[in-house]
Structure 1
């Protein structure tokens, strides 16, 4: 037998709408106050005949009238709910489904424990539900929240659905959606979400996927999405997402992909995306508009990094970033500019990491270009004489990465010396004992400090030819030193 209706002292007299809800609850039947093809949440003409007091729903859920052989559930569609639905610290065994409803006051579910909660298509002035526990699924699909939604510390065993939900607030005193320290046992599904104000996911844990594709996070001048120390067991799908304000992912752990294909990230004059100190399986930044604001990936570890040069902003911070694969495969000339955009600072690790990525795919030519660029960038940090010696090494042998350049210098000097001394033979040091003069080998004796063909010590040039010999000797020593330095550097890299 079903229990009788509540007494006057508990809920006063029940209205016809409330009586329908009370009688349907024990059998888990649905009560639909909406008319066909209308949006009851916005309809004012029929408000009186579909109004249900929150105190009646509270008493109904807490007393939980039962009918033998039936499963009780609260299933209401199209109602206007007045007063505060106060379920603070309550344990509710029945499923709660309040669809297409309009709440006049903010429901208080702080610390409550529910089997399942479905608020799809409803309009609420906010939701106070920190530390809420839901054993099944929490649905806020197509909800319109006109005040802060507090789900901090919530524990949801199943999935959290917020497709096309709208979150706004009257002021910026707190985030419009708070999921900080929340735990979701399945997916967080929120494609086409719209948030006008900060969304906070700091310290949250999602066992499955997060889907915010085509979402909009709008908080100009502040943090649009604060997801520091977020833990995701699978992927984050954020394709075509649009943000105005910073996206904060510092310290997050994302096992799968962070998919930002075709995204538009905007926070001019500040950091648009900070994913520093993160561990991410794959990061995709491709196909979208150029990032408006800085990109910060410092100290992160990313297995596969997909960066399209066209999306990179003027400031890119890559200090101590580690990655295994860098895609798409681009010439070194297109990748090097991003290493020079880290606030003007020389970061040797960034060059080493890019070089390793090219070697990983077997592009040794690109790796050498990166090494050469590293030495040139390092040269700018040296004192004047270090810079001077660096210019010499660069001009002669390209810091050892362009050995053919040294051969060209040697051949040119050898040709110049051979012609000069061929036209004017130097006099023998000891007449009658000197070998036959050979201008080519005489020039080689001057140029190559460790080679002795017996010509250099047997003849003594005079006048400007003597000065030419000094130039050839000094140049030979410089070339030899730079060649040895470059070869040593190359061998050590191998």
Structure 2
């Protein structure tokens, strides 16, 4: 393109490029790039001119060429497909008429801050520095799948307002980011896809608003790898968040988050590996919480955040905070969609034992046995009720002593008032109601009373009851001791 073909605005941009000078067409400070279609020719630049400038414009010795343009209306499609651009590109506060095509391009640095675009086609883009799209408004999908960004990606307060019908609103699948992804206050309608992405720093989505719709993916980040933290504090999410197979070295922070996916799973974090998972100071999520097979170093989970349905089978965590009474934690285990999950009870027991709260650990184990009882056949449930009433499945050993003392008192009083007849009057020892009752209750120890006297009528039935109760108590005590020793 010859320079004579350019408008005064385009010629100004062309002459500023070799020296890297700024060209700013902006007017009032509160000017809105969304109204860029109304801007006149004095601030209109054709995309073809920018393409020619970046690919073939002459340079000046001793100067660093760069495209620094602000407040321009860019007409036509900026097509840099497979192009290699060695200059920094800044197109801030601009209004794009067509979707820029950067597929497979290689850029030194790209800054689109505060611009309005109908979308962005930049899959497999390579940026050797930083990619800035903060405060941008995209009226269509943003495609960055497979992009490689050596520095950071900034999308703070960016918005993707027009939801596509057949593809994600923001495609960051399989991207490689050498630093972090900063997208505080991001607004999307449709899916934010981060599947297979790799981020060397932190992903910051604090204050984001992700709206996909009930039953649809709001944030799909399966097999995502993050060397830092993933911050989702104070987010509003309509749809599900998918983190299956994700590896996060630092903290996954969902404090103050509002997650809603009615009738389905709100947070799918199965088979993920996370340093710390924070679910706190938030309303109960609407939808299920899936943490099956997840491995966490620290689980910061407040009971009030737990939804009505959870999936916790094979969840492993080292530390559970904050410290709460066992009864508050047990309510979560009772909401498991799979019913009775023994592993969940064992994990909770281990967490209490690590901090030395043995009383809470026993409460959890007792609750486990009671929950297991409901899965047994009728005879197993009957025996379970006996063990529970007698010694609390071995976790309430003093209860057996109470039963024994009560039965000993009853038997001693009854037999003191109504002595049983001696079987052999000339050989029988002197009758002692206390030791006679002990002989009936204790199945192993003998004081010589039971074999010497024989009660009759209703008192004989009392003796049978004491013998049977003694055997039951002895069996349950032995079972409880065995369970305690095996735990030790």
Per the normalisation by structure 2, the TM-score is 0.98
Distance 1:427 1:415 in 2: 20
For structure 1, list consecutive stretches of 5 or more residues without a partner in the other structure.
1-5
State the 1:146 CA deviation.
0.5
The question of 1:22 aligning with 2:14 is answered yes
1:163 aligned residue: 156
Give the 5 Å matches for 1:142-181. 142-181=135-174
- The answer (yes or no) to whether the contact 2:271–2:293 under 8 Å persists in 1 is yes
CA distance in 1, matches of 2:57, 2:128: 18
> Does the aligned pair in 1 maintain the 2:163–2:169 contact within 8 Å?
no
User: How far apart are residue 342 of structure 1 and its match?
Assistant: 1.2
- Kindly provide the CA deviation profile for residues 65-114 of structure 1, in whole angstroms up to 9, marking residues without a partner as x: 21000000000000011111110001100001000001000000000000
Report if aligned partners of 1:40, 1:79 keep a CA contact under 8 Å in 2.
no
**Which residue, 383, 398, 401 being the options, matches 1:407?**
401
Distance (whole Å) between structure 2 residues aligned to residue 43 and residue 104 of structure 1: 9
> Take 2:57 and 2:199, find their aligned partners in 1: how far apart are those partners?
32
Unaligned regions of 5+ residues in structure 2, if any?
none
Aligned to 2:2: 7
Q: Which residue of 1 aligns with 2:279?
A: 285
Distance in 2, matches of 1:254 and 1:218, equals 24
Cα separation, 2, equivalents of 1:477 and 1:168: 74
Does residue 369 of structure 2 align to residue 375 of structure 1?
yes
Which secondary structure state, in structure 2, belongs to the residue aligned with residue 76 of structure 1?
A: strand
- Give yes or no for contact 1:202–1:226 (8 Å, CA) kept in 2: yes
Q: Tell me if the contact between 1:138 and 1:159 (Cα under 8 Å) persists in the aligned partners.
A: yes
Between the aligned partners of 1:274 and 1:74, the Cα distance in structure 2 is: 44
CA displacement 1:226-258 (0-9 Å, x = unmatched)? 111111101111111110110111110010001
User: Which digits, 9 at most, give the CA deviation of each residue in 1:151-189, with x for residues without a partner?
Assistant: 000000000000100012253211110000001100100
Alignment partners' CA distance in 2, 1:424 and 1:55: 115
Q: 1:45: Cα distance to partner?
A: 4.9
Secondary structure, aligned partner of 2:436: helix
Report the Cα distance in structure 1 between the residues aligned to 2:123 and 2:36, rounded to whole angstroms: 31
Of 359, 363, 370, which aligns to 1:365?
359
Distance in 2 (CA, whole Å) between partners of 1:170 and 1:200 is 14
Q: How does 1:368-447 map to 2 (within 5 A)?
A: 368-447=362-441
Q: Distance in 2 between matches of 1:104 and 1:443?
A: 99
Residue by residue over 1:299-327, the C-alpha shift from the partner in whole angstroms, topping out at 9 and shown as x without a partner, is 00011101111111100111100001111
What does 1:258-277 align with in structure 2 at a 5 Å threshold? 258-277=252-271
What CA distance in whole angstroms lies between the structure 2 residues aligned with 1:452 and 1:485?
Answer: 22
Q: Distance in 2 between the 1:114 and 1:395 partners?
A: 75
Determine the structure 2 residue equivalent to 1:63.
56
User: For residue 191 of structure 1, what is the aligned residue in structure 2?
Assistant: 184
Alpha-carbon distance, 1:38 to partner: 3.7
Instruction: Please give the TM-score of this superposition, normalised by the length of structure 1.
Output: 0.97
Secondary structure of residue in 2 paired with 1:115: strand
Structure 1 170/424 Cα, relative in aligned 2: closer, same or farther at 3 Å? closer
Find the counterpart in structure 2 of residue 336 from structure 1: 330
2:31 alignment counterpart: 39
Equivalent residue number for residue 201 of structure 1: 194
Q: Distance in 2 between matches of 1:43 and 1:7?
A: 27
Report the 3-state secondary structure (helix = DSSP H, G, I; strand = E; otherwise coil) of the residue aligned with 1:269: strand
1:102 is matched with which residue: 86, 90, 95?
Answer: 95
1:488 positional shift: 0.5
CA distance in 2, matches of 1:264, 1:479: 52
Shift in Å, 1:458: 1.2
Answering whether residue 465 of structure 2 is matched by residue 471 of structure 1, we say yes
In 2: Cα distance, 1:17 partner to 1:442 partner: 114
SS in 2 for 1:268: strand
SS in 2 for 1:256: strand
Q: CA deviation at 1:412?
A: 0.6
Deviation at 1:344, TM superposition (A): 5.1
Indicate yes or no: 2:321 matched with 1:346.
Answer: no
How far the C-alpha of 1:459 sits from its partner, in A, is 1.0
Task: Supply the distance in 2 between the matched residues of 1:169 and 1:203 (Cα, whole angstroms).
Answer: 25
Q: Is the aligned partner of 1:50 residue 2:57?
A: no
1:87 corresponds in structure 2 to 80
Q: In the TM superposition, what is the alpha-carbon distance from 1:40 to its structure 2 partner?
A: 5.4
Q: CA deviation at 1:365?
A: 0.3
CA distance in 2, matches of 1:373, 1:170: 48
Query: What number of residue pairs does the alignment pair up?
Result: 486
Mapped contact 2:163–2:189 kept (Cα < 8 A): no
| Cα separation, 1, equivalents of 2:58 and 2:306 | 61
